[in-house]
Structure 1
Amino acid sequence: MASSDIMPSTRSPATITVVGLAMLNIVAVVSLDGPPTEAEYGLSAAFYYLFAAVFFLVPVSLVAAELTTAWPERGGVFRWAGEAFGARWGFLAIFLLIAQVTIWFPLVLTFAAISLAYTGPEATVDQKLSGNQLYVLVSVLAVYWLATAIAARGVAAFTRVAKWGGIVGTIIPAAALVTLGIAYLLTGGESQIPLRWDDAIPDLSNVSNLALAASIFLFYSGMEMNAVHVQDVRNPDRGYPVAILFAALGTATILILGTLTIAFVVPREETGGTQSLLITFINAFHWFGLSWATPILAFALAIGVLAGIVTWVAGPSSAMHSVAKAGYLPTFFHAANKNRMPIRIMLVQAVAVSAVAVVFVFMPSVQAAFQILSQLAGLLYLVVYLTMFASAIYLRYRQPDRPRPYRVPGGLAGMWIIGGAGFVASALALASSLVPPSQIGIGSPARYLGLLVGLAALIITAPLLLFARRKPHWRDPASNVEPFAWETPDDRPGP
């Protein structure tokens, strides 16, 4: 979640068009670090992308819009889960969001490091540099700490970087990737995968395929961050769902065509690695005699990663800061700098990200470590989404009279259908993430499952223990976190 989930804003009516909101959501969600993994599926990747868009992306967007407008107070998912099930589960949800991005940062930053490596003049030298562990580690740490420094400068600074960096580093490269893929085939380029309709239907009987397929759900994460703008659209009950439909179609189209471009240009045995996107650009540009453009695109991709990191450093840490001052973390974490950014929370997270990066980069099998950590991050985030869907459904019963400027269409039945579809899809994706992928060597399946479940259990247990040990003096009297609606003697769902 970005800062827009956390800090209420003064809204003027109809300040965003339907098309404008759709574009805002596409910029927020689309990232090019994921398609290389899914290129392994070839044409059948389109099925998984479309399935996840219908049963996950759209429900997330609509449900988050209702929750955001009904409970605009600070805290994001902390507020939603807390209103439904009690403060303990709200704290667990926001803690898991922080843990998820802490694990995710080194993974996406490795993509940035490899992109930076390909800004040199010699492709063969660049490829060797991208595989150097020390280079990757230094680049990961440099980009992350730079992002933290930018986020620490305040809302104006990080929103400016996020906006322009997203356009330069995500939208333009994505458009270039899709255009190159289409042009490559139309000009006689040889596809590296068979172009047969029967290959577009995935082999759903192969359970081991589901682990990589489940990660597609996380490619769509973040659409909820712009739900706060639902009231800025003219006639939101009609305009907002239309904007979400456009955004879902646009996002799915970019990711599908981008993934297929990689599959067309890069041999299947070379897909799946973080380098395959850059190899796609190298091969395609070489085909068209534009090899000079590769370093430019590589640098733009690194800028895009920086923009995304800045947003995710600022958003969840700001939410956790509000929660900390409400009495859920020791007073050490209450500090903010002159720009009102939670500097200590951000620094603690930076240290944790640095530690994860060191372990990740120097693992004997970086690809296996990448898979385990990405599945762990996805598992934690899916727990957050499960909590969000369950909260939305339960709050229709718990607080039926709460004003909801935007409602999921269809009344109570509509919430059960849309929220229920999102919950079931998230649960299936979570279960699928526990299946070891056959495409990547991860050693013993039992060891993979044990490590994944063990790490997830450890991370989930930590906030529950911390919540149980909270102290009354942890609450800041100046906290601007409003009490939950149920915090009355006769309306309390739980401790």
Structure 2
Amino acid sequence: YPTILSFIAGLIAYMINPHLADNKYYLISVILIVYWTMTWINLKGLHVSAQFASICTVIGMVIPMILIVLLAAFWILKGNPLQMHLNIHTMFPAIHESESWISLTAIMAAFLGMELATVHVKNIQNPQNIFPKALIFAITFILITMILGSLSIAFVLPKDQINLVDGVMQEFSSFFHVYHLNWLIPVIAVMILIGSLGGMINWMISPAKGLLLAAQDGFLPKFFQKENKHGVANVMLIVQAVLVSLMCLVFLLMPSVNGSYWLLTDLSTELYMMMYFLMFIAAVFLLTHDAVKGAIFQVPFKKVGVWILSVLGILGVIMTFVIGFFPPSDVNVGGFWHYEIIFGSGIVITSLPAGLFYWYKTCHAKEWEIH
């Protein structure tokens, strides 16, 4: 959450005073205000949050993404200088350079959370047909927009001037300055801000719903099973907000905002890789024990497909996890060992709840069997 919230704070700073994006205390304050406001909206019910997210996505993500690609295309057609040239050497990652491998962490982070939609599958009519199609459409759209959007930024902005927090607004500003459309800068900033809020609200409600289901299965104390009158896991959302508030303190541990942003991105990616590793292992386990017979959703090519996807997934997860321990050289993280200590501690601390949940489930297994 803090990474998305940092981006939101950077956008707000861009509209007020761009230098605020480098102020740790400003970022922490905005993150706390925005997150607790989004928590309040989520407490109003899934219907309200879903409508809010849908409107925000169209206004603040789809339209700006299409616009940034069109502006980049126009920039190229007008013969303006490019900061990156596409050729056989730049189109493929330089596998002999460590920076190319380190960038894999950020790329993987862009696709995290696709599985969160599954917690809402019970709310979908005919999920066997609708859900896979929606997932394929989402993956295709994300791939196209991410690739074209990233290339658009790389073509216009010099590498050393790209800021992880407000790089998107940097490019829009560059375009609008050239075409004397400076009045559009705050408009686009507001649109992207709205889109980010919509994305944020999705990231908040889905994990809370998943944890509610885990609590109902006995992995958490019954206290966490509570729902408000709107059918929302209110206790989960409040606990989640408190934990995110504490995580924001990482901005005080790193020497730069970019360093903090990278640390949070890296840490969340590593945790996800651990979860994905277990998920792929579980898929193989269920397959070998014939536990997938009669399943509602089927992987293409059945057993062969599951094995291929699981092996590829496990290899990708292990590779990303190892690379994640090496910070990029062009981001100020306060030194390699300073980063490793904070990063390693973060992984250990944030991994503890999973072990505690399993221990709780084991200790109370008989109690749940009785009920």
- Residue 183 of structure 2: SS of its match in structure 1? helix
Q: Contact 1:166 / 1:304 at 8 angstroms: preserved in 2?
A: yes
Choose the corresponding residue for 1:128, options 19, 25, 29.
Answer: 19
Counterpart of 2:60, as a letter, is G
Instruction: Please tell me whether residue 206 in structure 1 is matched to residue 94 in structure 2.
Output: no
Q: 1:167 to 1:474 in 2, by over 3 A?
A: farther
Instruction: Please tell me whether residue 110 in structure 1 is matched to residue 1 in structure 2.
Output: no
Q: In the TM superposition, what is the alpha-carbon distance from 1:350 to its structure 2 partner?
A: 0.8
TM-score (norm 1): 0.68
Instruction: Please tell me whether residue 324 in structure 1 is matched to residue 215 in structure 2.
Output: yes
TM-score (norm 2): 0.89
Choose the corresponding residue for 1:354, options 245, 250, 257.
Answer: 245
Q: Contact 1:163 / 1:307 at 8 angstroms: preserved in 2?
A: yes
Q: Give the alignment of 1:416-431 within 5 angstroms.
A: 416-431=307-322
Instruction: Please tell me whether residue 149 in structure 1 is matched to residue 40 in structure 2.
Output: yes
Structure 2 match to 1:193: 84
Q: In the TM superposition, what is the alpha-carbon distance from 1:204 to its structure 2 partner?
A: 0.7
Cα separation, 2, equivalents of 1:199 and 1:253: 18
Q: 1:350 to 1:414 in 2, by over 3 A?
A: same
Instruction: Please tell me whether residue 395 in structure 1 is matched to residue 281 in structure 2.
Output: no
Instruction: Please tell me whether residue 449 in structure 1 is matched to residue 340 in structure 2.
Output: yes
Choose the corresponding residue for 1:336, options 227, 246, 251.
Answer: 227
Q: Contact 2:176 / 2:185 at 8 angstroms: preserved in 1?
A: yes
Q: In the TM superposition, what is the alpha-carbon distance from 1:226 to its structure 2 partner?
A: 4.3
Q: 1:424 to 1:194 in 2, by over 3 A?
A: same
Q: In the TM superposition, what is the alpha-carbon distance from 1:450 to its structure 2 partner?
A: 3.9
Q: 1:198 to 1:467 in 2, by over 3 A?
A: closer
- Residue 296 of structure 1: SS of its match in structure 2? helix
After superposition, the C-alpha distances for 1:308-342 in whole angstroms (9 at most, x for unaligned) are 11112111112212322333223332322111212
Q: 1:473 to 1:334 in 2, by over 3 A?
A: farther
Q: Give the alignment of 1:7-86 within 5 angstroms.
A: none
Q: Contact 1:210 / 1:433 at 8 angstroms: preserved in 2?
A: no
Structure 1 match to 2:265: 374
Q: In the TM superposition, what is the alpha-carbon distance from 1:155 to its structure 2 partner?
A: 1.0
Structure 1 match to 2:200: 309
Identity, % of aligned pairs? 27
Cα separation, 2, equivalents of 1:133 and 1:477: 49
Aligned Cα RMSD in Å? Answer: 2.8
Q: In the TM superposition, what is the alpha-carbon distance from 1:223 to its structure 2 partner?
A: 2.7
Q: In the TM superposition, what is the alpha-carbon distance from 1:252 to its structure 2 partner?
A: 1.7
After superposition, the C-alpha distances for 1:148-171 in whole angstroms (9 at most, x for unaligned) are 011111111111111111111111
Structure 1 match to 2:180: 289
Q: In the TM superposition, what is the alpha-carbon distance from 1:478 to its structure 2 partner?
A: 12
Q: 1:385 to 1:407 in 2, by over 3 A?
A: same
Q: 1:425 to 1:176 in 2, by over 3 A?
A: same
After superposition, the C-alpha distances for 1:363-418 in whole angstroms (9 at most, x for unaligned) are 43222222222111100011111122221222112234631233111121121112
Q: Contact 2:106 / 2:266 at 8 angstroms: preserved in 1?
A: yes
Cα separation, 1, equivalents of 2:138 and 2:364: 45
Q: Give the alignment of 1:400-439 within 5 angstroms.
A: 400=291, 402-439=293-330
Q: Contact 1:209 / 1:437 at 8 angstroms: preserved in 2?
A: no
After superposition, the C-alpha distances for 1:90-118 in whole angstroms (9 at most, x for unaligned) are xxxxxxxxxxxxxxx11111111121233
Structure 2 match to 1:172: 63
Q: Contact 1:231 / 1:405 at 8 angstroms: preserved in 2?
A: no
Choose the corresponding residue for 1:217, options 79, 87, 108.
Answer: 108
Instruction: Please tell me whether residue 383 in structure 1 is matched to residue 262 in structure 2.
Output: no
Bigger RCO (CA 8 Å, 6+ sep): 1
Q: Contact 1:211 / 1:433 at 8 angstroms: preserved in 2?
A: yes
Q: Contact 1:382 / 1:426 at 8 angstroms: preserved in 2?
A: yes
Deviates more, 1:297-306 or 1:133-142: 133-142
Q: Contact 1:208 / 1:435 at 8 angstroms: preserved in 2?
A: no
After superposition, the C-alpha distances for 1:168-218 in whole angstroms (9 at most, x for unaligned) are 111111111111111111112211224443222222112343222222112
Q: Contact 2:112 / 2:269 at 8 angstroms: preserved in 1?
A: no
Cα separation, 1, equivalents of 2:3 and 2:58: 21
Cα separation, 2, equivalents of 1:343 and 1:188: 54
Count of residues paired in the alignment: 366
Counterpart of 2:258, as a letter, is Q
Structure 2 match to 1:13: none
Q: Contact 2:42 / 2:48 at 8 angstroms: preserved in 1?
A: yes
Counterpart of 2:297, as a letter, is Y
Structure 1 match to 2:157: 266
Cα separation, 1, equivalents of 2:188 and 2:339: 36
Q: 1:407 to 1:466 in 2, by over 3 A?
A: closer
Q: 1:154 to 1:305 in 2, by over 3 A?
A: same
Q: Contact 2:102 / 2:328 at 8 angstroms: preserved in 1?
A: yes
- Structure 1 unaligned blocks of 5 or more: 1-104, 121-125, 480-495
Cα separation, 2, equivalents of 1:213 and 1:168: 29
Cα separation, 1, equivalents of 2:23 and 2:345: 30
Cα separation, 2, equivalents of 1:475 and 1:134: 47
Cα separation, 1, equivalents of 2:125 and 2:304: 21
Q: Contact 1:328 / 1:475 at 8 angstroms: preserved in 2?
A: no
After superposition, the C-alpha distances for 1:273-330 in whole angstroms (9 at most, x for unaligned) are 2122111111111212221111111111111111111112111112212322333223
Counterpart of 1:115, as a letter, is L
- Residue 250 of structure 1: SS of its match in structure 2? helix
Q: In the TM superposition, what is the alpha-carbon distance from 1:452 to its structure 2 partner?
A: 2.2
Q: 1:473 to 1:340 in 2, by over 3 A?
A: farther
Q: Contact 1:265 / 1:280 at 8 angstroms: preserved in 2?
A: yes
- Residue 327 of structure 1: SS of its match in structure 2? coil
Q: Contact 2:273 / 2:321 at 8 angstroms: preserved in 1?
A: yes
- Structure 2 unaligned blocks of 5 or more: none
Cα separation, 1, equivalents of 2:51 and 2:82: 40
Counterpart of 1:299, as a letter, is V
